[in-house]
Structure 1
Amino acid sequence: MLTSQRKQLILEKLGAEGQVLSRELSLHFDVSEDTIRRDLRELAAEGRLQRVHGGALPSSTAIAPFAERKALKIDSKKSVARKGAQLISSGQVVIVDGGTTTSELLTFLPQDLRITVVTHSPGIALGLVDHPCIEVILIGGRLYKHSIVTVGAAAIEGIGNIHADLFFMGVTGIHPEAGLTTGDYEEACIKRAFSGRAAETIVLASPEKINTASSFVIGDLSLINTVVVESDTDKAWMKAVREKGVSVITTADPDNE
């Protein structure tokens, strides 16, 4: 079998099963584990998968530049954002992470909703400028231009002065075993810090993030309380997430009025 054929079959197996293990692939293709590791290494370099200990997971497409991500799965993002907005109550302090899905969340906040929003995203802050009842606290720091959010020591210090009710965490991958991941080390640190200052952490998960992984770990699923997904999300995935103690809300669930 040609190397290119084996790689394609590995990707097909990954797509069908959600993960692959080096040892199992070695036996399946009757080649050495070194050969499989080389295949996985080359596929990872092409952005086709994310290597993890012992094998690989699907690579998240949500690590593209902000402008590209904004047009990705836009209807799905709007759908989960609308459902997420229903989890917010008047009087709360709500941390809103940077990201394209959390940006959509803003469009579903009622004009009479009185909350305080804390964010390290200048875009999120500007998106709330014209909202009549929402106070905005913008966390400062070094601007990470890829995601248009602030990071670094100053941001961590500012986060330490907050007690929030909710945190809407942005992720690039959410996987029952690999946990919550993102494409930048400093962003992962910021997300962990925000989660530690909120009573409840929520992930709005559009389809490209589900069952995928990126290079930097935010934490395992115990870090979050709730994930909001589309109603046609894989049932086995939802079951696996619920077994980790996370509440799964779908867009088909009754509205919280």
Structure 2
Amino acid sequence: MTDYDAFPDQRQSMIQQMLADSGRVIGADLARTLGVSEHTIRRDLQELARKGLCKKVYGGAVSQIKQSASFEVRASQNIAEKSKVAKRCAEMIKPGTCVFIDAGSTYLAMVEFLPEDLELTIVTNSPQIASALSGRTKGELILLGGKVNPLTGSTLSSDTVNQIKTMVFDQTFIGVCGLDPQAGLSAVYYEDACFKKEVLSQSNEVIAAVTADKMPQVARYKVAACEDIDVTVVSEDTNISDFRHLNMRILVAQ
């Protein structure tokens, strides 16, 4: 049996593995499992956070996302799960409204479930989503301009933000890099986080589609608190136990 008190490298490797498996660790639980003091665990978490391997939160730590895969790669991952979540999101869209759809592979899947005769004004910063919607004859489609970021698959620039300031959205489907009960909704890239904040300030209802691999997770830049999201749509494979105490409506897509 490994003496974790005597071998800090092995202890920290074990903590990293637990973070990779569940996305979150609790200091007191780690101390019991590894047979060390909570003070020792706090030092371990501090060291892992210093290396950028996790983010410390009250009582423990969560894994930290450093960089996301390209949009094309993400679109080919977790297809079945994203399809379920996307369909549930599409069912929430109200006819005759102005809707913002953020860039994201789940939202690209969502637009396939929109009825052709649904009258809508759709605004997006995703060229891929705009292309998928370009054949619609009902309502309006507005693609925001600006420099295209190949990693987010979206237009992101000061021009994009300025356009958002002139609009008000009945519903916004916001992209999520990470969602954590304490850290809230976060984004990998600074420009993307700033853009999302502006979108949320112009929105009457905020909906977040979140796949299981993003809960709980923390990216580098905070966008909003969990309470700022009106509805979170998740798959049935998602562990939502840490979020139940929050003032946030969670819908499970079957």
TM-score computed with the length of structure 1 as normaliser? 0.84
What is the distance in 2 between the residues matched to 1:17 and 1:118? 33
Task: Give the match for residue 246 of structure 2.
Answer: 244
| Aligned counterpart in structure 1 of residue 187 of structure 2, from 173, 182, 195 | 182
Gaps (5+ residues) in structure 2?
Answer: 1-5
Structure 1: which amino acid aligns with 2:25?
Q
Give yes or no for contact 1:63–1:182 (8 Å, CA) kept in 2: no
Taking every aligned residue pair, what percent have the same amino acid on both sides?
26
SS in 1 for 2:12: helix
2:125 paired with 1:120: yes
Cα shift at 1:250: 0.9
Q: Deviation digits for residues 110-137 of structure 1, max 9, x if unmatched?
A: 1111101111111111111112324211
Offset, 1:39: 3.6
The corresponding residue for 1:231 is: 236
| Pairs aligned (count) | 243
1:97 to 82, 88, 102: 102
Aligned pair 1:156/2:165, yes or no?
A: no
Greater shift after overlay, 211-220 or 133-142?
133-142
Is 1:50–1:215's contact at 8 Å kept on the other side of the alignment? Answer: no
CA distance in 2, matches of 1:118, 1:148: 15
Give distance in 2, aligned partners of 1:229 and 1:32. 32
RMSD across aligned C-alpha pairs, in angstroms? Answer: 2.6
Whether the aligned pair in 1 keeps the contact of 2:45 and 2:56 (CA below 8 Å) is: no
Aligned counterpart in structure 1 of residue 50 of structure 2, from 35, 41, 48: 41
Q: Aligned residue for 1:18?
A: 24
Instruction: Decide whether aligned partners of structure 1 residues 40 and 112 sit closer, same or farther in structure 2, where only a CA change above 3 A counts.
Output: same
Distance across 2 between alignment mates of 1:185 and 1:171 = 13
d(CA) in 2 for partners of 1:53, 1:237: 13
Cα separation, 1, equivalents of 2:132 and 2:109: 10
Greater Cα offset, 228-237 or 180-189: 228-237
Q: Distance in 2 between matches of 1:200 and 1:187?
A: 19
Residue of structure 2 equivalent to 1:5: 10
Report SS of the residue matched to 1:89: coil
The residue identity in structure 1 corresponding to 2:10 is Q
| Match of residue 51 from structure 1 | 55
Q: Which of 147, 156, 161 lines up with 2:152 in the alignment?
A: 147
The CA distance in 2 between the partners of 1:219 and 1:83, in whole Å, is 23
Q: Are the equivalent residues in 2 in contact too, given 1:163–1:197 (CA < 8 A)? A: yes
Q: Which residue number corresponds to residue 255 of structure 1?
A: none
1:28 paired to 2:34: no
Partner amino acid, structure 2, of 1:19 = V
Unaligned runs of 5+ in 1: 253-257
Shift of 1:234: 2.1
- Between the aligned partners of 2:66 and 2:86, the Cα distance in structure 1 is 19
1:183-202 correspondence runs (5 A): 183-202=188-207
Tell whether the 8 Å contact from 1:61 to 1:172 is kept in structure 2 after alignment.
Answer: no
Taking structure 2 as the reference length, the TM-score comes to 0.85
SS in 1 for 2:223: strand
